[in-house]
Amino acid sequence: MAIVEKSPAKARLYEAFAASGKALSNASRLELLDLLAQGERTVDALAKSAGLNVTTASAHLQTLKAAGFVATRRDGVRIFYRLAGDDVARLFALLRKVAEAHQAEVPAARDDYLLAGGGDPGVVGSEELALRLRGGASVLLDVRPREEYEAGHIPGALSIPIDELADRIDELPLDTEIVVYCRGEYCVFAYDAVRLLTGHDRRAVRLNDGMLEWRLADLPVTHADVPPGKTTRTVN
């Protein structure tokens, strides 16, 4: 059977597709996308959160920008990075789920990371959370870093970053259930927070996903600079 010669235009098209895949083929770049799904950040802030030096973080961000996954804005001498669109957040979330479903190594790596401190704490879904909050049966706690909370959080959530929680447990009630959430389904902060809270006689469970999934479900999001009662539904 004769081989059909590939047209140069088709080759260029698939090379363009491959460039996007290449930009995602690095663990540090995926972690940067995970952080940017929480809100825009400077290179310095991203490098610190990802455990990278600034030069390395900047190089990764330039690769992501060249592939069209992130965009920038300038504020004086500072450059802020953000996801280029909601579709990038959806792609990142889908990539993780596809990897978990089809790559045998992922579930074990997930459990080693998330369950290293003990078993999986109790969970509630977003619909159940809404019912509990309306009835005053639960307190909602956001344990992400402060800047991520300010960039967007679930309406009504209290903010106590995970690295402050041990010193601020007395701010939380003994007689009301606490529902904890963090960045997303694969964020360990909520797991650690629930274990810490239950170890201090609080009733605590985690939301079954996190801020990334909440946003992608088009559920209400509010920001630190939004007046009470006002919400937005934007990912970026």
Query: CA dihedral in degrees (169, 170, 172, 177; nearest 10)?
Result: 80
Give the span between the Cα atoms of 49 and 146, in whole angstroms: 12
Q: Say which residues have a Cβ less than 8 Å from residue 236's Cβ, sequence separation at least 6.
A: 39, 40, 82, 83, 85, 86
Hey, which residues are catalytic here?
182
Q: Where are the alpha helices (DSSP H) in the chain?
A: 8-23, 27-36, 43-50, 54-66, 86-102, 105-114, 126-134, 146-151, 162-168, 189-198, 211-216
Give the span between the Cα atoms of 218 and 133, in whole angstroms: 18
